[in-house]
Structure 1
Amino acid sequence: MSPVTTLSDIQRIKAIVGASSGNLVEWFDFYVYSFFSIYFAHIFFPQGDVTTQLLQTAGVFAAGFLMRPIGGWLFGFIGDRFGRKKSMIISVYIMCFGSLVIAFLPGYNQIGLFAPILLLLVRMLQGLSVGGEYGASATYMSEIATEGKKGFYASFQYVTLIGGQLMAVLTVVILQQLLDNESLRAWGWRIPFLIGAVLSIVALWLRKSLHETSDEAQRTNKNAGSLVYLLRYHWRPFIKVIGITAGGSLSFYTFTTYMQKYLINSVGLDAKTSSMLMTGALLLFMVLQPIAGALSDKMGRKASVIIFAVGLALFTVPIMVYLSTVTSLVLIFLLIFLALVICSFYTAVSGILKAELFPPQLRALGVGLPYAIGNAIFGGSAEFIALVLKQKGMESSFFWYVTAMGIVVLLISITLPNKKAVEKL
């Protein structure tokens, strides 16, 4: 019997909140870097124009993603062999340390090349942490939820992930109101990293009270957390998770983190207006997650992902091209929101869809590692590729790239088993 079988609904809700709190802090810390990079890029990369500086900080952002597969493997192994709870606690500790270091890290003018090198190393450490967070928390939420409501409960992983983004962009908006541009560029950008480190303490406290969802038999299984066994006997779902994550992550980062820079760099909006628009859009995006998750409980995860893939393939180019031509802020907001509605059919079911493809003794690793690989290659490089193509005058090529990945997801999603078939595995 599962160790959480006898939990009451109240206990399950508390467990979701506890797991989600750490997820929120992890992603707040991670996205603060992206949203505040326009203010600290010159601190670590003083040479070149604005686009060049953003390109360099985006490169560091992408490097953090390259550590995710290692984090996905390491924390997936810990989650399957020693428990989901332990894996999630360690990941928050690492993220807290990284944010604290960045908050006090000297710039290029103080320590020269050591500044960007240390920034890179810390971001890689945080990438390790986030790479491990996804698999453990997705597995935990899928296991703590009751049958028939798994999509709804599991959707809160992206509620908190988006909530972390929202907190990051809200921090931008608040600091923009309290500090002038010169102060933000000089020292104000350090404040959110301090906030993230402090919030981690609360998340650690909440996570320590979580109920473990794996049992002793699963953790002591000789194949628990085994990468060799996973690749030998479960390579098909492994490959499918990579492919679905590739398109899902690419679109997610395109319409969230890169979108803010696109509004400034290509649409021509100022930083404050861009931040306000993204704050409103992310808030609605967050609210959409449990709605889309509940829908997946009715129509199935497969149907949800197919809707996402078709929407991504059909609407990416029109939305992004039209954004660069309109001047109405209302229309700009609606276009961003449309893109996020499409994404919701992926984000709400992302964790539960993948968790249902693997047996319990391999679930954290099976979800975390292929997700981290797809996310690192396609999600982490999204901003970098977009900015490189913009520099070369080929910005629209990036939109077609996102469209092509939507087609890839569609082809994979057609081969997915329906939920009833998955339950028999």
Structure 2
Amino acid sequence: MNAPTLASAPANASTPRSRAARTRLVMAAAVGNALEFYDFTVYAFFALVIGKLFFPVHDPVGQLLLAVASFGVGFFTRPVGGLLIGMYADRAGRKKAMLLTLGLMALGTAMIAVAPTFAQAGIAAPVILVIARLIQGFSAGGEVGASTTLLLEQAPSNRRGLYASWQFASQGLSALAGALTGVALTASLSTAQLESWGWRVPFIIGTAIVPVGWWLRRTMEEAPRESVAAAPKAPKMPLVTVLREHGRAVLNGLGVTIGGTSAHFIIVFYLSIYGVKTLGLPGWTAMLSGCVSGAILFVVAPIGGYLSDRIGRNRLMQTTRILLMLAIWPAFALLNQSPTTGTLLAVVTVLSIVHSLNVGPTGAMLGELFPRSVRATGAAIVYSLGVAIFGGFAQFFVTSLIVITKSVMAPAWYVIGCGVLSVIAVACMRERSQEALD
């Protein structure tokens, strides 16, 4: 039996009635993801200061490595958070799960903001820092599954791609805000002031944003015009159902996530580090590069989501993924031949535009893989697992490839290899943009 098309499917009853309601829904769903990437950016910006204050290692490089490691531990709890919070979202509702993830994210950020330094609390200081990162990783793992499924289920049927794309657009805006906050503090405070209290300011700002996000989520309507009782109930063991009945969807979703995540971490984060550490560019270019990529992601990702509603998600995903795979190697070759700030920014701009168009339909594609009863669980599992492995360990994989191959082009090959998996996955997926969600 053919799947229902938009023409034959009933109008999405849960669609918000006004522009204000639609805007509020998107803001409520995106605020948690935004807080995560804001914290991601400011932590990376102040990694040197945090390493010096929390880890009593005499070697500055060792301090930095420990600070980065404490940041990376959050990726280990992402899959666990994705699984547990995803199941909670399917059984208790998207709204309750979104309130939980926001509360956990706020707790982790606040713990970092007020954490005592090693000089003040000894070994307890790095322990508190690591616990905070674990809590944030757990929260982030469940955030995308709950909030993206809510956007999908309440979006107009012909705008699901656009609605879900705001999850990724919020990442760009928050990364830009985090970078600008770091630059402003560095420019206005002395080194002593930054080490004394200035590094805490971005985390305090992040914590202060939470009440607004909590109010948005607490007062939003999860299903304003639809009887929740009419929706299919989640099974007692959503994970078992996902793995037993939707194994192919899980593999396809992982393939999509792997391609997007590998490209995101190389283009948005690693390229700036590559420019400074490998090409010898000035340190300020790293932050400028991050600002450019963040701004482009915020503007272009919704365009990708919109186009996926019009021309099809699979077509857009395949076209932009192949373009990115074709462009990444020449981009790194150009950087090594002409290692200038202008070249770096030009490369980041072009790659970020293609990448942002590519991630635009990702949220909708992941949610559309699973039925409503296990949608949050399925989407959370594939996204958090793919990000944890191929995003959290991206720099490790790339560095290892450089050592093994003795080639500075290894980052390009990493993106190409992951991109091939993504292309195969999308080729195995049915186009759902013109079908009813449920």
**2:281 aligned partner:** 269
Amino acid at match of 1:244: V
**What whole-Å deviation, never above 9, does each CA across 1:66-92 have from its counterpart, x for those lacking one?**
111111111111211111111111111
Q: State the SS of the aligned residue for 2:292.
A: helix
Alpha-carbon distance in structure 2 between the residues aligned to 1:385 and 1:162: 24
Which stretches in structure 2 are left out of the alignment for 5+ residues?
1-9
Alpha-carbon distance in structure 2 between the residues aligned to 1:327 and 1:257: 17
Which stretches in structure 1 are left out of the alignment for 5+ residues?
none
Alpha-carbon distance in structure 2 between the residues aligned to 1:343 and 1:291: 12
**2:246 aligned partner:** 234
CA positional deviation for 1:25: 2.1
Alpha-carbon distance in structure 2 between the residues aligned to 1:46 and 1:390: 30
Aligned length: 425
**2:4 aligned partner:** none
Of residues 63, 75, 83, the one that matches 2:85 is 75
**2:167 aligned partner:** 157
CA positional deviation for 1:131: 0.6
**1:409 aligned partner:** 422
**1:364 aligned partner:** 376
CA positional deviation for 1:324: 4.1
| Segment drifting more, 178-187 vs 248-257 | 178-187
**1:86 aligned partner:** 96
**1:293 aligned partner:** 305
The root-mean-square deviation of aligned C-alpha atoms, in Å, is 2.5
Query: Percent of aligned positions with the same letter in both sequences?
Result: 32
Alpha-carbon distance in structure 2 between the residues aligned to 1:218 and 1:229: 20
Q: 1:215 to 1:66 in 2, by over 3 A?
A: farther
CA positional deviation for 1:52: 4.4
Matched, 1:146 2:156: yes
Alpha-carbon distance in structure 2 between the residues aligned to 1:33 and 1:218: 44
Of residues 235, 242, 246, the one that matches 1:223 is 235
**1:120 aligned partner:** 130
TM-score by length of 1: 0.91
| Segment drifting more, 275-284 vs 393-402 | 393-402
Alpha-carbon distance in structure 1 between the residues aligned to 2:322 and 2:349: 17
**What whole-Å deviation, never above 9, does each CA across 1:120-149 have from its counterpart, x for those lacking one?**
221111000111111111111112211212
Maintained 8 Å contact 1:29/1:95: no
CA positional deviation for 1:7: 3.0
CA positional deviation for 1:184: 2.9
| Segment drifting more, 50-59 vs 127-136 | 50-59
Maintained 8 Å contact 1:155/1:347: yes
TM-score by length of 2: 0.89
Matched, 1:252 2:252: no
Q: 1:165 to 1:42 in 2, by over 3 A?
A: same
Of residues 78, 82, 97, the one that matches 2:107 is 97
**1:191 aligned partner:** 201
Of residues 264, 276, 280, the one that matches 2:292 is 280
Amino acid at match of 1:132: G
| Segment drifting more, 222-231 vs 415-424 | 415-424
Maintained 8 Å contact 1:58/1:384: no
Amino acid at match of 1:194: I
Correspondences of 1:244-393 after superposition (within 5 Å): 244-387=256-399
Amino acid at match of 1:164: S
Q: 1:50 to 1:383 in 2, by over 3 A?
A: farther
Amino acid at match of 2:420: I
Alpha-carbon distance in structure 1 between the residues aligned to 2:211 and 2:15: 29
**1:61 aligned partner:** 71
**What whole-Å deviation, never above 9, does each CA across 1:152-193 have from its counterpart, x for those lacking one?**
222111111211211111111211221234533454222111
Maintained 8 Å contact 1:69/1:131: yes
Matched, 1:178 2:188: yes
Alpha-carbon distance in structure 1 between the residues aligned to 2:433 and 2:27: 28
Alpha-carbon distance in structure 1 between the residues aligned to 2:221 and 2:41: 28
